[in-house]
């Protein structure tokens, strides 16, 4: 180790509405020093996820808010550079919540050693990581598509939506997706194997679904909320299920926006709307990996990554997520990937 | 039988917004004549229920719409006056969907013979009928209150709400109710044994719940929708359940009204919102009666009825329901109750 300093991204101000680069600052710190039982880790990839917007607001929720003046945190893959913990050795690859900083010292229990195996290292933050697990759990436990049913996934080219749709396809459902550009629609259809896709900026979801699913939909995997949710309610068939995973269209609202005007359909059509947070279900992670990792290894699932370079790019990467400038999992690479 | 004519209530026009008496007409018909396998039934009590508003609109839903110029239908208790079916004899008391008419001829399979037993005859349309079954199913299968949890029931003095709350109380929950007058609030607290109640016309639900349930609620049994649903979402704790039974506040909307602005709480608090229609669950009716009928027989559950007299009063009785002029089950008595 020759570097004597590290850099981290701190929250400078709590945004109202859409965050701007001014809400973040890059700060230089002395190189962290691991104490007994800790390791010094260099971040290779850090994850940028929509849920982080909620943490920028100072509201207590299922995950602690980011604090002004403090470094942000989030999923990351890193490499141990120095260890004072017997279970870790320099060179080990680890998964942690130590994103948004170049180096961090952390207790061994906060570092999960990973074997990248046949999957690329970055996949541990995407299809095999929290977003993939989220897609699998929500579709398997809440959506529960049966063979022949029609499934609609919003943000279908994103890290969660792309796996949610591919899994539903594998389980025998007809799968439709909405995305924000025509290019993404082509990707979802041609590469991910969805049965149909549309760009919600050119065709309103309610119209698009009328054309793509004239007999209605059975499952809606909601990553978006707002107009998408209202359209899905309109088209859901009796006993349909809504997987309430995220509502990215709402995250930057400065004031509360009205909900769907047709929510009473939940009663007349006997719908289920179920929210979930994947960290509640960590005990099921082995089951997820047992099903999905072999499919990844065999090349039977596809995914994309949009990778920004360097810690200076991290705040912008988060903003790009809300502008839909990513395709697939949004990552920032803070150091060279030693496995590539 | 000396009467040679019968009267029935017909839908004259489909209402926009709140129905008026002009949307109905009372028509006289020749006395129906039962054919082979049918019986002639005289209606004693007919049920008036909020869901009937939906049937006045010409929209296909879980139950067929009423047709303009045709008699309405709905739950009723009657007595066989003439039978051409071997399984029914004059004097038999029967439950049917032949409400809104004084006499009707119907096949035996559409007439369920009832033994009023220890319960008053009218109870078969209320606490032991469809509203009671609805309350039981929704609370038992969707709300699932655990001992010590806090349950909130809207329209708490109504036919469904009053049993939903009493059951939750018996199962060990702390139960709060909202109603439309201070008198009803007193009734719900003092006679039905709720732990708290408020009048939503004087105290907004969100404020009232803040005072009555400072630690939040675990179950919301929704009969009302609108502002109540938004308030319940605000106060629901993690892993809370919303029993989506009805949304009477919305039934007379001429145009769609915005939904709750805080629906994203479904995700962050991992809430479940589940709609249901009791007729899907008719197979569970024996289980319901096995649990609730003995409690009724022993006087351990309480209920009220608001009874209008004569078929001319039936349209007005339905309108009173939307004005909250009833206490408990709303009924119309078309003939003397032979058991009283």
Residue B292 domain flag: no
What is the pLDDT at residue A20?
95
d(CA A51, CA A47): 11
B206, B216, B231, B263: which to substitute to probe chain A, counting the most A Cβ within 10 Å?
A: B263
- Span A201-214, mean pLDDT? 98
Residues A339, A120 contacting (CB under 8 angstroms): yes
Check whether residue B120 and residue B134 sit in a common domain: no
Q: For B79-115, how does the pLDDT look when each residue is reduced to its tens digit (9 = 90+)?
A: 999 999 999 999 999 999 999 999 999 999 999 999 8
A266 touches chain B (CB under 8 A): yes
d(CA B168, CA B175): 7
Check whether residue A37 and residue A52 sit in a common domain: yes
d(CA A202, CA A180): 9
Check whether residue B171 and residue B260 sit in a common domain: yes
Phi, psi of B206 (to 5 degrees): -65, -40
Q: Which residues of chain B have pLDDT under 50?
A: none
Number of domains in chain B: 2
Q: For A322-340, how does the pLDDT look when each residue is reduced to its tens digit (9 = 90+)?
A: 999 999 999 999 999 999 8
Other beta carbons within 10 angstroms of residue A148's beta carbon come to 9
- Span A100-119, mean pLDDT? 93
CA angle A48/B266/A288 to nearest 5° reads: 55
pLDDT at A166 over 60: yes
pLDDT at A210 over 60: yes
Domain span at residue A219 reads: 130-279
Check whether residue A113 and residue A145 sit in a common domain: no
Check whether residue A152 and residue A266 sit in a common domain: yes
Check whether residue B81 and residue B153 sit in a common domain: no
Check whether residue B119 and residue B145 sit in a common domain: no
β B38-47/B76-83 pair status? antiparallel
B50 touches chain A (CB under 8 A): no
Domain boundary among B263, B279, B295: B279
Domain boundary among A264, A279, A294: A279
What is the pLDDT at residue B62?
83
Residue indicated by tokens 């506040």 = B249
pLDDT at A181 over 70: yes
Inter-chain CB proximity A280 and B273 less than 8 Å: no
**What is the pLDDT of chain B when averaged over all its residues?**
95
Q: Give residues 278 to 307 of B whose Cβ lies within 8 Å of A.
A: 280
What is the pLDDT at residue B3?
82
Residue A290 domain flag: no
Q: Which of A323, A325, A251, A315 is nearest to A17 (CA)?
A: A251
Closest Cα of chain B to A251: distance in Å? 9
Check whether residue A72 and residue A178 sit in a common domain: no
pLDDT at A59 over 90: no
pLDDT at A293 over 80: yes
Q: For A234-274, how does the pLDDT look when each residue is reduced to its tens digit (9 = 90+)?
A: 999 999 999 999 998 888 888 888 999 999 999 999 999 99
The CATH number linked to B97 is: 3.90.180.10
The CATH number linked to B152 is: 3.40.50.720
What is the pLDDT at residue B256?
85
Residues near B6 by beta carbon (within 8 Å), at least 6 away in sequence: B28, B29, B30, B31, B32, B101, B102, B103, B104
B61, B229, B253, B264: which to substitute to probe chain A, counting the most A Cβ within 10 Å?
A: B264
Judging contacts by C-beta atoms under 8 Å, the chain A residues touching residue B245 are 267
What is the pLDDT at residue B340?
85
Residues B138, B164 contacting (CB under 8 angstroms): yes
CA B87 to chain centre: 29
Check whether residue A138 and residue A179 sit in a common domain: yes
What is the pLDDT at residue A266?
96
Measured between alpha carbons, how far is residue B45 from residues A303, B38, B279, B305 in Å?
A: 63, 20, 20, 11
Inter-chain CB proximity B62 and A238 less than 8 Å: yes
Check whether residue B136 and residue B275 sit in a common domain: yes
ipTM, two decimals? 0.94
């Amino acid at each position: 180790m020759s570097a004597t300093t590290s850099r981290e991204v701190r929250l400078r101000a709590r945004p109202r509405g859409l965050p701007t680069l001014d809400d973040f600052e890059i700060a230089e710190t002395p190189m962290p020093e691991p104490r007994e039982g800790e390791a010094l880790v260099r971040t290779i990839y850090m994850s940028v996820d929509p849920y982080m917007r909620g943490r920028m607001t100072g509201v207590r929720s299922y995950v602690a808010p980011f604090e002004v003046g403090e470094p942000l945190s989030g999923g990351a893959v890193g490499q141990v550079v120095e260890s004072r913990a017997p279970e870790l050795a320099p060179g080990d690859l680890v998964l942690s919540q130590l994103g948004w900083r170049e180096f961090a010292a952390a207790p061994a229990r906060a570092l999960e050693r990973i074997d990248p195996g046949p999957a690329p290292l970055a996949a541990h933050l995407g299809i095999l990581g929290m977003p993939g697990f989220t897609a699998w759990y929500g579709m398997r436990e809440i959506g529960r598509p049966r063979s022949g049913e029609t499934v609609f996934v919003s943000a279908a080219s994103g890290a969660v939506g792309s796996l949610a749709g591919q899994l539903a396809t594998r389980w025998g459902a007809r799968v439709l997706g909405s995305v924000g550009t025509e290019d993404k629609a082509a990707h979802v259809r041609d590469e991910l194997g969805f049965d149909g896709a549309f760009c919600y900026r050119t065709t309103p979801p309610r119209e698009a679904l009328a054309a793509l699913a004239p007999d209605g939909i059975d499952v809606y995997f909601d990553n978006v909320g707002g107009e998408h949710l209202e359209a899905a309610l309109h088209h859901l068939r009796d006993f349909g299920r809504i997987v309430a995973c995220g509502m990215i269209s709402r995250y930057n609202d400065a004031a509360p926006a009205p909900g769907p005007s047709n929510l009473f359909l939940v009663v007349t059509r006997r719908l289920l709307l179920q929210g979930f947070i994947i960290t509640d279900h960590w005990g099921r992670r082995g089951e997820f990996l047992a099903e999905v990792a072999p499919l990844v290894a065999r090349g039977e699932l596809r995914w994309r990554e949009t990778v920004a370079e360097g810690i200076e790019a991290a705040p912008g990467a988060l903003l790009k997520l809300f502008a839909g400038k990513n395709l697939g999992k949004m990552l920032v690479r803070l150091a060279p990937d030693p496995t590539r």
